Chain A
């Protein structure tokens, strides 16, 4: 089915949905509200200054905990029908109590299902993380300092706990529940994937409890383990949550998924476990470079490499021979150059799985060779490209919402790109127009002594950070070495505000 055909059908269904009329009666709902006690909205509270850092700190802590399970983020927080305490309480304390009951029941269920002793169960890394996560969020309810409403947080937290406490058999069930295209049945794929995870976990438990694996494994399991996981990977496995790569294989046919696991695991050739993340990320980023960022218009189309990106491709190819970048890009660039950058059979055949295979060949690679050099270049080239694209597609448009889809990073990038072009009016158009903030006329802005000489290329997106807190975003935009010298600091901080027209830049009176 062609893309436009699917889009057409979605559009047609949308029109059909629009004929649906409201069924509920507003008067009945408001009558019910009037009858109920304890559901009156509290008067709107004014946010006081001291609360902002407290909330921001809480947000950072939440982010820290969530980041520990970041790679699992794509997992489904599916609804758990059994052992769930229904909630409808209005008080924070009651939410905390519901969470206690939910956690205890879920833990009891999973413990029984796993067939492990409580000591063994508690030794599983994800179970420990789940307990910490539960305790942390329980405290959040008790402190009543939430950055979201408790009902939303409760659903999110219970979903997250459920996801973290999944056992291998739950994962298999998820795969089958969420992917109708699997060619194998539950039993077959269970053999491939379930045993793999189960054995890995037993290794983890063995490592943690006894520093000895054998007593926890049957003879058959030891044989299977030997076939699947080489002992040299144990240090990695011990650090890795067993669900960490789940999403990478999600959506692949099960045989490919299994091969992918094997390849990726085999690719961790360096016994230095600190390299694990780097290698994984380099593969992921290079894949993104090759296939774009899942945008409508990928950065690099398979039909050829646009002129403006050829330089980056050559740079990748010119990395040290043992580097991932070189291994991947050198043959592609060679073929591309010989076809005047129109095609490359190697590129055509490149998939995420193949990239994992390339990494596998990097036995003995050092951490320097596996540095982020490729990633930094790709991310920054991608960012620069997005800003240019945003400029091309929106600079001639009118209306305050023309950048509604742009991220805070892109807004800042575009702001400085306009500075570079001398487009002060377009820049002025990006400012927050709100009576509660400092505003000036365009005539005043034209002579406003700020940002002179700054440009988009002063920034390094790949090393920059954004932090969101409700309706504002704070960005620490990292400066390049040259930019840092010029500005006398390593990064610049920006704050943007979310409006109905997207992210806007407030003008600071001190600037």
Chain B
């Protein structure tokens, strides 16, 4: 079904594209949130993803649509916070200590369970080079090959990063140094 929708959307059928958005929207939003987007920013990022996707839709291979979707979502999430970074003064940032990957109060209304909050916070505190492979592998069920493709990395690097990300995560959880409470 999605193949037909992609084909139709590639020919300019915007209603088909709307159906595609409905179909993939949840995936995009969950992925953005898992990658470090704050929950209240997710709709904006989602909108940016689908506008960007539409712009380059003609280039996409149908069979690899989800790979492109992940790539575009990652870029849109990064760009969203890059833009915020430009707008915020350096002094303000230093004061707030806010980065793209830090969760805020709104995130914790979504994650009710204390253990989930803690793990989510730990994952967000990982550097993106470890966070993204981990998220794709554990939460998006991507194969190593697909992750390698999404992140443009050699397969071995993907495996190493997932391996290391778990080590780092284990260390963070054992130390309990990452705050799982809301507020910037």
The answer to whether A24 touches B46, judged by C-beta atoms less than 8 angstroms apart, is yes
Interface size on B, residues (CB 8 A): 89
The answer to whether B75 touches A151, judged by C-beta atoms less than 8 angstroms apart, is yes
Taking a contact as CB atoms closer than 8 A, the residue among A29, A180, A499 that contacts B172 in the complex is A180
Taking a contact as CB atoms closer than 8 A, the residue among A10, A151, A499 that contacts B63 in the complex is A499
The answer to whether A34 touches B83, judged by C-beta atoms less than 8 angstroms apart, is no
Taking a contact as CB atoms closer than 8 A, the residue among A14, A27, A30 that contacts B138 in the complex is A14
B183 within 8 A of A: no
Chain A facing B: main interface SS:
loop
A39 within 8 A of B: yes
Taking a contact as CB atoms closer than 8 A, the residue among B47, B56, B125, B153 that contacts A73 in the complex is B153
Interface size on A, residues (CB 8 A): 71
The answer to whether B82 touches A86, judged by C-beta atoms less than 8 angstroms apart, is yes
The answer to whether A152 touches B29, judged by C-beta atoms less than 8 angstroms apart, is no
The answer to whether B26 touches A22, judged by C-beta atoms less than 8 angstroms apart, is yes
Knowing A18-B30, A29-B50, A178-B127 touch, does A79 contact B78 (C-beta < 8 A)? yes
Knowing A10-B119, A41-B9, A86-B86 touch, does A78 contact B128 (C-beta < 8 A)? yes
Contacts of A293 in B (CB 8 A): 156, 159
Knowing A30-B14, A76-B129 touch, does A24 contact B119 (C-beta < 8 A)? no
Taking a contact as CB atoms closer than 8 A, the residue among B71, B129, B160 that contacts A152 in the complex is B71
Q: How far is the CB of B61 from chain A (nearest CB, A)?
A: 6
Contacts of A503 in B (CB 8 A): 145
Interface residues of A in 147-196 (CB under 8 A from B): 149-152, 155-156, 177-181
The answer to whether B64 touches A498, judged by C-beta atoms less than 8 angstroms apart, is yes
Knowing A13-B116, A76-B128, A82-B90 touch, does A294 contact B163 (C-beta < 8 A)? yes
Contacts of B33 in A (CB 8 A): 17, 20
Knowing A86-B82, A86-B86 touch, does A6 contact B116 (C-beta < 8 A)? no
Complex-state Cα separation, A363 to B170, whole angstroms: 40
The answer to whether B127 touches A76, judged by C-beta atoms less than 8 angstroms apart, is yes
Question: B1-41 interface mask toward A, CB cutoff 8 Å, 1 = contact, 0 = none?
Answer: 00000000111101101110110011001100110000000
B55 within 8 A of A: yes
Q: How far is the CB of B147 from chain A (nearest CB, A)?
A: 11
The answer to whether A39 touches B173, judged by C-beta atoms less than 8 angstroms apart, is no
The answer to whether B43 touches A24, judged by C-beta atoms less than 8 angstroms apart, is yes
Knowing A20-B33, A86-B86 touch, does A41 contact B55 (C-beta < 8 A)? yes
- The chain B residues found within 8 Å of chain A, CB to CB, are 9-12, 14-15, 17-19, 21-22, 25-26, 29-30, 33-34, 42-43, 46-47, 50-52, 54-59, 61, 63-64, 68, 71-72, 75, 78-79, 81-83, 85-86, 88, 90, 93, 100, 110-111, 113, 115-116, 119-120, 125-130, 138-139, 143-145, 152-157, 159-161, 163-164, 166-175, 177-178
A sample of 8 inter-chain contacts (CB < 8 A) reads A14-B138, A23-B29, A24-B42, A24-B47, A43-B58, A152-B75, A251-B167, A498-B63
